[in-house]
Amino acid sequence: MQRAQVEVTGSEQVGPYTLLHVARGGLDPGIPGQFFMLEAPGRPLPRPMSLCLAPPGELAFLIDAIGSGTRALCALQPGDELAILGPLGNGYRLDVERPLLVGGGIGVAPLPYLSESLGRPPAVLGFRSEGHAEAARLVPNAEVVIEPTYVTAAIPAGHDVLACGPEPMLAAVALLEPGAQLAWEAPMACGYGACYGCAVELDGELKRLCVEGPVLPAEAIAA
Ligand SMILES: Cc1cc2nc3c(=O)[nH]c(=O)nc-3n(C[C@H](O)[C@H](O)[C@H](O)COP(=O)(O)OP(=O)(O)OC[C@H]3O[C@@H](n4cnc5c(N)ncnc54)[C@H](O)[C@@H]3O)c2cc1C
Ligand code: FES
């Protein structure tokens, strides 16, 4: 884990989302599914973001502007600076034989980097509209489903599922694929185990998602 002040190198719209590129500096991109805390200038608290892509010399994050913190990150322009801390948490296990990436909505964010690390395996992505589905262009070999069809209807049997998406989607994937690896979310203030803001129940005990997760085996979380 390292802290760095880095420069924004680019910002592009991907449907309703923003793909923010920053200079990598000396930061290690980490393992797919790990995350970074991004702090926009003048904002009191950083926000957790999965690493989306690690092009040479850069890190890129796909951001859904749902509140003031994410709006501030999406408003950053090339040349602006931000503070960044990471990589944090536990990513996906990559020792899988027949990977299938499953993403829902902004849960597509960690999948481009994961796809590159696993040699571009098949993916199934679900979105609530055609506009949101523009993000599918970041993930190679992806089949896209749009609501009212849910992504769980398009998961073929016999794969090692690696998923990220909203909680109801992850709960449904866990029922279908008890061996799946799932990336969960919780509000996070520090990102490295100090504040207990991200405590969730795991195996009947309260544990910090930023330390034990965010990627967990499906059986670890009671749905
Ligand atoms: C490990 C991890 C990785 C993440 N990766 C990404 C990513 O790659 N791209 C991305 O766009 N977002 C990602 N998120 C979610 C993102 O961090 C939150 O959307 C962001 O912190 C919200 O901040 P805000 O100030 O914009 O909104 P706020 O004003 O703090 O919240 C707006 C609304 O969203 C709810 N909310 C806030 N945070 C969360 C959360 N974590 N889960 C569920 N509801 C929440 C609040 O209750 C509120 O209703 C990730 C979260 C985690 C924990
Ligand atoms: S975010 Fe502070 S302990 Fe997890």
The reply to whether 73 falls in a domain is yes
Does residue 139 lie within any of the structural domains?
A: no
Domain membership of residue 82 as a residue range:
2-88
Q: What is the pLDDT of residues 39-90, one digit of tens each?
A: 999 888 999 999 999 999 999 999 999 999 999 999 999 999 999 999 999 9
Number of domains making up the chain = 1
pTM, 2 dp: 0.96
Nearest atom within ligand 2 for CA of residue 191: 1
The pLDDT tens digits for 131-184 are 999 999 999 999 999 999 999 999 999 999 999 999 999 999 999 999 999 999
Q: Report the pocket of ligand 2 as residue ranges, CB < 6 Å.
A: 188-191, 193-198, 208, 210
Query: Does any domain span residue 181?
Result: no
Does residue 99 fall inside a structural domain?
Answer: no
Q: How far apart are CA 77 and CA 26, in angstroms?
A: 21
CATH code for the domain in which residue 6 is found: 2.40.30.10
Pocket of ligand 1 (CB under 6 A): 35, 47-50, 61-64, 66-70, 106, 109, 185-188, 214
**What is Dmax (Cα atoms) for the chain?**
48
Report the atom number in ligand 1 closest to the C-alpha of 183: 1
Q: Is residue 105 part of a domain?
A: no
Looking at the domain assignment, is residue 34 inside a domain? yes
pLDDT at 170: 95
Residue 215 within a domain: no
